């Protein structure tokens, strides 16, 4: 046999071998795919419960069986699918929420890729809601996502929120337009729908200043300040949880970029926006901050609906409050005739006592306004284990009856209050070893 024929035989044999191997691999892959219990035959969108629970195993371990049942039964609407909203929707889906409705009119832009949760270059130009839906179904194919590429407004509010018999259990406000945001918050208040709102993440950069608090207690957030004024005129002053940053402005930090003179020369500035009343100036955004806002919102919702205990510290950057607390203790020492005029605590101590030990409120009434610092037991020295957060009225009463009047703590306060205060002191004694 010639060398040429031998080579042809070898090539033919190799080709047949490769074909057989590929056929075998395809056969094995098909069998393996069919053997996985991914889909139930009776429903297009229901997947193996065993696989779902495996994917959510860490959440089940954290939130418990009952908690995860509540999470999976949620029907949540995210209004606004940009930097904040995309992270909210993504983490709710990853955490087991099985019914999401995402509402946004905008498209993915190249400049939004620095902060969007899932968008990539191939998504530029498509609607934000479809982008989220496509990616999230690749992560959690068993969930149902309504992607509504439409601007939320009052005229379409009923249909967008309740249409298709959706019956939402929670609304997430991630809108960055003042009027639309106010309308959504007002609508949810009137309809008695639970809602959480995102403050402004633009121009913010300090993760330690991110707060969760009632809308009445937001700080250093110009957007929320304006919203409070509008909502107050509508009879809404509190009851809306907000994620916001209390980071103070600084001339060295990013600011809203001004419009160039040539833009003003084109005519009315409000005509430059894509939609009426929407912003036309560029908001400088550090891509990490909207993500942290969104993750904080998702965490709040997951813990809230699963009944997992959390105690948010409202206004954790209240430096003037800490100094006022210290002064209230100094004034009390003078009033009760203590020879030592100096306070043996620092501003750092009052911060720690208010936010960490007493969780931002009086253990006597649970009030968190008009707070002071008071000596608890007059027979013991002033220390972090013998001062209590009280309201001004409670401080006056405590001075009159206990510190000056000589009544016992047991005669003045209920057993529950005394046990709560003592438990706070025990916690402080334990953690003081690490301070």
List, for residues 393-413, the tens digit of each pLDDT value: 999 999 999 999 999 999 999
Confidence of residue 435 (pLDDT cuts 50, 70, 90): low
- As given in the structure block, the two tokens for residue 407 are 């009544």
Query: What is the residue-wise DSSP string for 130-192?
Result: HHHHHHHHHH-TTSEEEEE-S---GGGHHHHHHGGG---SEEEE----HHHHHHHHHHHHHHT
Find out whether 219 and 243 touch, Cβ atoms under 8 Å: no
pLDDT confidence of residue 308? 93
Q: Which domains does the chain show, CATH number per domain?
A: 50-305 (3.40.50.720), 319-434 (no CATH)
Where is average pLDDT lowest: 269-278, 291-300, 361-370? Answer: 269-278
Order the strands of the 75-79 sheet from edge to edge.
Answer: 144-148, 99-103, 75-79, 170-173, 195-198, 241-245, 210-214
Kindly state the helix (H) or strand (E) to which residue 67 belongs, with its residue range. helix 57-72
List, for residues 290-307, the tens digit of each pLDDT value: 999 999 999 999 999 999
Kindly state the helix (H) or strand (E) to which residue 173 belongs, with its residue range. strand 170-173
A 10 A CB-CB count for 289 gives 23
List, for residues 204-261, the tens digit of each pLDDT value: 888 988 999 899 888 888 888 889 889 989 999 889 999 999 887 777 777 765 555 5
- Residue 292 CA neighbour count, 13 Å, CB half: 19
List, for residues 70-120, the tens digit of each pLDDT value: 999 999 999 999 999 999 999 999 999 999 999 999 999 998 999 999 999
- As given in the structure block, the two tokens for residue 328 are 């209230």
103 - beta bridge partners?
A: 79, 148
Confidence of residue 359 (pLDDT cuts 50, 70, 90): confident
Eight-class DSSP state of 343: -
- As given in the structure block, the two tokens for residue 396 are 């006056």
A 10 A CB-CB count for 243 gives 26
Kindly state the helix (H) or strand (E) to which residue 288 belongs, with its residue range. helix 288-305
């Amino acid at each position: 046999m010639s060398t040429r024929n031998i080579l042809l035989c070898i090539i033919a044999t190799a080709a047949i071998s490769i074909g057989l191997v590929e056929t075998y691999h395809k056969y094995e892959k098909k069998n393996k795919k069919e053997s996985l219990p991914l889909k139930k035959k009776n429903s297009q969108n229901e997947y193996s419960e065993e696989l779902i629970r495996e994917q959510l195993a860490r959440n089940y371990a954290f939130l418990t069986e009952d908690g995860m049942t509540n999470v999976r039964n949620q029907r949540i609407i995210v209004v606004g699918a940009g930097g904040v909203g995309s992270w909210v929707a993504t983490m709710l889906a990853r955490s087991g929420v099985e019914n999401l409705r995402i509402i946004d009119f905008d498209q993915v832009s190249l400049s939004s890729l620095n902060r969007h949760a899932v968008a990539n270059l191939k998504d530029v130009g498509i609607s934000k809601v479809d982008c989220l839906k496509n990616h999230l179904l690749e992560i959690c194919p068993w969930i149902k996502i309504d992607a509504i590429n439409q601007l939320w407004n009052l005229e379409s509010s009923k249909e967008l929120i309740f249409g298709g018999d959706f019956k939402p259990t929670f609304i997430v406000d991630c809108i960055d337009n003042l009027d639309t945001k106010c309308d959504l918050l007002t609508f949810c208040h009137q309809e008695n729908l639970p809602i959480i709102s995102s403050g402004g993440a633009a121009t913010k950069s300090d993760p330690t200043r991110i707060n969760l608090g009632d809308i009445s207690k937001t700080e250093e957030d110009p957007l929320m300040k304006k919203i409070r004024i509008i909502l107050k005129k509508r009879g809404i002053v509190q009851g809306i949880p907000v994620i916001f940053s209390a980071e103070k402005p600084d001339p060295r930090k990013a600011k809203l970029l001004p419009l160039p003179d040539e833009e003003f020369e084109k005519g009315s500035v409000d005509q430059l926006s894509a939609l009426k009343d929407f912003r036309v100036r560029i908001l400088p955004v550090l891509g990490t901050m909207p993500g942290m806002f969104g993750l904080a919102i998702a965490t709040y919702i997951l813990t809230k609906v699963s009944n997992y205990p959390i105690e948010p510290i409202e206004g954790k950057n209240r430096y003037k409050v800490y100094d006022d607390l210290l002064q209230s203790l100094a004034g009390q020492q003078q009033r009760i005739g203590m020879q030592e005029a100096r306070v043996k605590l620092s501003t750092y101590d009052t911060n720690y006592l208010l936010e960490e030990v007493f969780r931002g409120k009086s253990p006597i009434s649970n009030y968190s306004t008009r707070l002071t610092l008071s000596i608890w037991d007059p027979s013991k020295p002033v220390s972090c284990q013998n001062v209590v957060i009280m309201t001004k009225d409670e401080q006056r009463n405590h001075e009159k009856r206990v510190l000056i009047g000589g009544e016992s703590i047991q005669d003045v306060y209920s057993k529950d209050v005394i046990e709560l205060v003592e438990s706070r002191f025990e916690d402080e004694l334990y953690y003081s070893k690490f301070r």
